Structure 1
Amino acid sequence: MKFPPLRGLAAAVLTVTLVLSGPAAPAQAAQARANPDGTNTSLLEMLDFALDLLGQVGDGDISPEDLAAMTQNVINALNQAESGVIAHLDAIAVANIRDDATAAVIEFEDINNFAEETLEDWAQEVSGDAVRAAAYLDAVSAGKAVDDVGYAVVTLFPIALVARARAGFGTTNLRNQYRAALQKIADKLAPSCHYYYPEPNAVPLIRAYTCTVYGNHTATQLEQYWLGEWQLGPIDPAAVQAASYANTSRRVAVESLRLLP
């Protein structure tokens, strides 16, 4: 079984050129120009390594040593993202989801040392943690709350998939639930976008396009056509949209949906 590669794509970033006026411009520009943070890149690498492992286990031709090494790749990627993930988990209001997700992230580092019976029990436990986190997406609506739970989801499901594969359990049903949860994250954190004229009476006229997910997760691009040439722009709506959610769990969800088999 082969899965399409994610490494390389994980680091790709859509950038937006900004020229803003007024006192709020520097903060908005810095936010929108920022590359996706290391947490998102590492979580995408984590999923990539997890899919590699599932593919090898599915093919049935992998040595215990190679399986342990591939698992360690997943662990290493999660370790790179752990501090950012834990910060989001700490903000989740429901204690059992917050605590279970945090424990799963911490305990995953030792999965290569689990005895067979311990691994089987833990695989079932962390699968339940992932499913409960996904279900909690239906209970939250505020942008930050959705984002925090979204980070729990995009972290827990790859852990659970690896644990189940290592324990010899099926992964198809959990993978389908993961795909449905990713779509919920993408839908709930979809940016709100609009065109407007920052200075309607200015000559030449400048048009802006702004996308906002929540809080400071926003991006703006300007366009100005003057004397037959583009002085600014033209606006690229897709790039502005991507920049607005680059530092949220929506980016992980969207890119994972494209490649999750």
Structure 2
Amino acid sequence: MKQKLLKMVTATVLATAVVVPGAARPAQATDPATIVAVAQFALQAYGYFNSSEEGGMTIEEATSRIIVEINNTRNTIIAHLDGLATAEARACAEHHLLEFADIEEFSLSLKQRWAQDVTACVTLINSLWGAVSTLSAKNQLGIALGTVGPIALVARAQARFSTVELKNLLVGAFERIQQRFTPYCQAVPNVTEVYWELNPDPSWVSAWYSCQPAPEPPHWAEGIGSYTVYEVGLWHWGTPVNYPNWPAVIDGSERVSAYSVAEAALTQLRG
């Protein structure tokens, strides 16, 4: 099992029963399908760039394959970019996403100017992380780096520029994103306090098991990366003793936030 941050909080006992669906219920500002699509794009695009650096394919071949990936997900990615924190970030990200398909037609001098522009776009998006005040905005920025980052790396390689510093910047950015969206988990049993007095031994009860990024002001109620299931687990006096599905709930939280995009990117950038 992957090593995860799992902070267990002693559950607050509910006084009344609440009926909830048995299936997992993700809740977040960005459509889960968008996050899945961008994470898959990041995994493929950064992978193609790595392959071009390691001799598995030429930079031209990597460029062509990334263009195919963009064509497959363009509408989804552009819809996400509409939610970026500033108009400048939205404009630069969408501009370079759309123009990337024509990069092979650029002269070397134009490739060099374009590579500098898209590098500036990446650094702008990265710099906004400390300026935005909501978890939702940070989530949008993290997802955006998954799309613009590989375009910038390939553009710099096409322009015959170094990619080392940009790659290091992206690794640092994605590590920060991954850390911020690491799930914090808690559980709440659906029984009254009297239940523990009548059942002092460990017993199996229904409970809500949920994970989301660790709470901190002003992000307490945003619901970004929130994932909850309602299942039976072994409890003793208001404390969970045995609930084997925590890894699935943690993974559910990661999949509905920028964590999954960062994880996909880092899998390739560190490789």
Q: 2:104: which partner in 1?
A: 112
Shift of 1:157: 1.4
The answer to whether the 8 A contact 1:31-1:219 is kept is yes
**Once the 2 structures are TM-superposed, how far is the Cα of residue 240 of structure 1 from its aligned partner?**
1.3
Give the counterpart of 1:130 among 122, 138, 142: 122
- 1:1-261 counterparts in 2 under 5 A? 22-25=18-21, 29-31=24-26, 37-56=36-55, 66-200=58-192, 201=195, 204-213=204-213, 214-215=222-223, 217-221=225-229, 222-225=231-234, 234-261=243-270
1: CA distance between counterparts of 2:268 and 2:120? Answer: 24
Decide which moves more: 68-77 or 79-88.
Answer: 79-88
In the TM superposition, residue 130 of structure 1 has moved relative to its aligned partner by 0.4
Q: How many residues align?
A: 226
Determine the C-alpha separation between the residues in 2 that align with 1:88 and 1:22.
35
Q: Shift of residue 171 of structure 1?
A: 0.8
Residues 43 and 81, structure 1, Cα contact 8 Å, conserved in 2: no
What secondary structure is seen at the aligned counterpart in 1 of 2:24? helix
2:127 counterpart letter in structure 1: A
TM-superposed CA distance for 1:87, in Å, is 1.9
Instruction: Provide the rounded CA distance (Å) in 1 between the counterparts of 2:185 and 2:100.
Output: 39
Q: Deviations over 1:150-171 (max 9, x none)?
A: 1221211111110111111111
Q: Hey, what's the Cα distance between the residues in 2 that align with 1:80 and 1:248?
A: 21
Amino acid of the structure 2 residue aligned with 1:186: Q
What is the letter of the counterpart of residue 113 of structure 1? E
Shift of 1:49: 1.3
Unaligned runs of 5+ in 1: 1-20, 227-232
Encode CA deviations 1:22-58: one digit per residue, 9 max, x unaligned: 55426x62538x78633322232122112212323xx
Give the fraction of aligned pairs with identical amino acids, expressed as a percent.
27
- Following superposition, the deviation at residue 189 of structure 1 comes to 2.4
Q: Distance in 2 between matches of 1:176 and 1:122?
A: 20
Counterpart residue type for residue 92 of structure 1 = L
Residues 146, 188 of structure 1: 8 Å contact kept = no
- Which amino acid is the alignment partner of residue 54 of structure 2? G
Gapped regions of structure 2 (runs ≥ 5): 1-16, 197-202, 214-221, 236-241
Q: Counterpart in 1 of 2:12?
A: none
TM-score scaled to structure 1, two decimals? 0.76
The CA distance in 1 between the partners of 2:165 and 2:173, in whole Å, is 12
What does residue 7 of structure 1 align with? Answer: none
Cα distance between partner residues in 1 of 2:191 and 2:111: 62
Distance 2:147 2:91 in 1: 14
Q: Deviations over 1:43-75 (max 9, x none)?
A: 32122112212323xx9xx7xxx5423211011
Asked if the contact 1:39/1:82 (under 8 Å) is kept, the reply is no
Cα 1:176–1:39 change in 2 (3 A) is closer
Q: TM-score, normalised by structure 2?
A: 0.73
